[in-house]
Structure 1
Amino acid sequence: MEYLEQNPRASRWSHSKSIGHVLPYRKELDAIIINEVCWMPYSHHRDYRPFEDITLYSGWLKWGTYKQAHLPERVLRQYGHVQHIPRSPQHVTSVVISLEEIDDIWLHYANYVVDVAAIGHQQEHSIDCEDGYMQWFSRISHPLIIPPQERETSKVPQMQPATISHYPSINGPHFVGETCKSCKKIYDILQMVFDRRLAIEGTEIWDITRQALIMARVGSGEKFTHQKGRKG
């Protein structure tokens, strides 16, 4: 509550040093859905701290005797740009340079900033990414912080790949007059996942999301239609 906008944005949050708090945070992060993510956390902070080109410097940074790679091209959505498939971190980390060389590179940082002009700006949504990015991301990343083997999977019912025949017709007796506003909201969110290709066909998350979408359609009273060229 003591945070002031003119302070560094990172000072907006405090954290506990207790190890016991780590697992709840990880569970919350695993449960977060796409429309709950703040993709541009600095957008309301620019009046106090204007954006500087040096922020898009890509390469080695140093602090004392420590050095760390800084690769803003991997999080372009935080800077208001469409996310593209970035280069491998090894383009930076495989090159062994001294602390003195980092100083020299930093003095000429303009030669090492991400070329956002070649990438392009966002046009509509802050989660926009180029075609093929989500397929690439699903191959090189993992969807959960907590590994599946560490979860209490015995309490979670196993979900089978969805087919329309698994669910009764929305005109059936079980659903007459039982449409649900919450289901409609869930349906809209899940449909957005497919429309923006955030779920990749052939992956487990695609099957699970599609099953949930069908159930949300049934609960909200939406008729199930499969549009040509549209996944889900």
Structure 2
Amino acid sequence: MLFAAAATVAAANGGGASAGSGAPARTEPRTPGLRSPDAGFARDMAVHHQQAVEMSFIVRDRTQDEAVRTLAYDIANTQANQRGMLLGWLDLWGLPKVVADEPPMAWMGAASGGGGDRAGHDGHGGRTADPASGALMPGMATKEELERLGAASGRDAEVLFLQLMTDHHKGGVAMAEGCAQQCGTPVEKALAQGMVDAQRSELTLMADMLKQRGAAPRG
């Protein structure tokens, strides 16, 4: 029994192979650094997700349409849970949730600004960030747009929510694709790819819902 216990501990510490076996020694995964894509994505996507949750709660109280309310609930529930995971990883890594001198999307490097145009689009189908209006990252709604959503009701609220969330998802997909390509933490890369797949599916659903209401996504 003592031998078995010792073997278990040795294996857990990466020392199960004998020195002469030629097997490579196991190495512990590196903790992401402060400016790494892993940490930057976690910080930025937590903020991005928080606005999606906020918009979902706003529209829930502005319409009685069950399809829109169900979609809003699903988005709020999913993104609140994912946000908790992202913030939890930052705690686990011993990294701050906010870095004062870090511009949004800095972790994506040139990819965050490439392909943009003067019409306010980012090259991935979403709008670029506009700090002056309160939109910090691609696809995020401005303060004025959030106020309009809160003041609308019925079909007007449904259409505006679907249009804003479409922009939001397009920006989120671009960010998640960046992490799926650049992040080094396997579980975070998997979460990012899951975001891409799920939000693309919801983009198709929202396009159909807008068409049903005689509207379309914004340019």
More strand by share: 1
More helix by share: 2
| Structure label with greater radius of gyration | 1
Q: TM-score range by the shorter chain?
A: under 0.3
Q: TM-score, normalised by structure 2?
A: 0.26
Q: TM-score, normalised by structure 1?
A: 0.25
Q: Which has the higher contact order (CA 8 A, sep 6+)?
A: 2
